[in-house]
């Protein structure tokens, strides 16, 4: 049972870290996206003399900006930064529950039935988080996966 608890504890810590990194990446990406749209829209009028000489460049930039403006609500990563942060906070709270359970299970006086009930209560909480946020697409970004994996390992080695 303790091996299972450890695996879930480590996995939830990884998820908490990964989703916070994904949230930050989505937030930054969304800001750059919005900045590009704003600059493209503003430059279409303010740099008319330049665009008069290079109409194809102007048409391309405005065309791309318009397509991006229309597509923005349909790009899940751009609009999911707040929800990814909320998921991260929920996973961190769940991690704390697993951590308490882990230390309680290590005590000699722990009741096995009580530990098992609390373990499955944690599993239910994880299922609730996954169900509550099933509409959020969390992208798989290898650099963030590696970073979260490394930091999870370091954190667990330091604290256990």
Confidence (pLDDT) at 45: 66
Residue position matching structure tokens 């403006």? 69
Distance CA 112, CA 109 (A): 9
pLDDT digits (tens, 9 = 90+) for 123-139: 999 999 999 999 888 88
Where do the domains of the chain lie?
2-159
Segments of the chain with pLDDT less than 70: 44-49, 108-111
Confidence (pLDDT) at 66: 86
Confidence (pLDDT) at 60: 84
Task: Please tell me the pTM assigned to this model.
Answer: 0.82
Check if the beta carbon of residue 67 is closer than 8 Å to that of residue 91.
Answer: no
Distance CA 66, CA 40 (A): 9
Confidence (pLDDT) at 77: 75
Check if the beta carbon of residue 81 is closer than 8 Å to that of residue 23.
Answer: yes
Confidence (pLDDT) at 47: 65
Check if the beta carbon of residue 95 is closer than 8 Å to that of residue 60.
Answer: no
């Amino acid at each position: 049972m303790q091996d299972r608890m450890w695996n879930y504890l480590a996995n939830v810590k990884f998820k908490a870290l990964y989703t916070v990194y994904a949230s930050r990446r989505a937030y930054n990406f969304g800001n750059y996206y919005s900045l590009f749209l704003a600059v493209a829209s503003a430059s279409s009028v303010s740099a008319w003399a330049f665009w008069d000489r290079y109409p194809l460049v102007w048409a391309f930039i405005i065309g791309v900006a318009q397509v991006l403006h229309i597509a923005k609500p349909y790009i899940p990563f751009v609009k999911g930064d707040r929800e990814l942060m909320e998921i991260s906070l929920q996973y961190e709270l769940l991690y704390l529950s697993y951590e308490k359970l882990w230390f309680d299970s290590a005590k000699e006086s722990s009741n096995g039935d009580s530990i098992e009930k609390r373990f499955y209560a944690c599993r239910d909480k994880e299922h609730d988080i996954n169900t509550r946020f099933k509409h959020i697409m969390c992208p798989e970004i290898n650099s963030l996966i590696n970073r979260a994996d490394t930091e999870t390992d370091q954190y667990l080695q330091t604290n256990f």
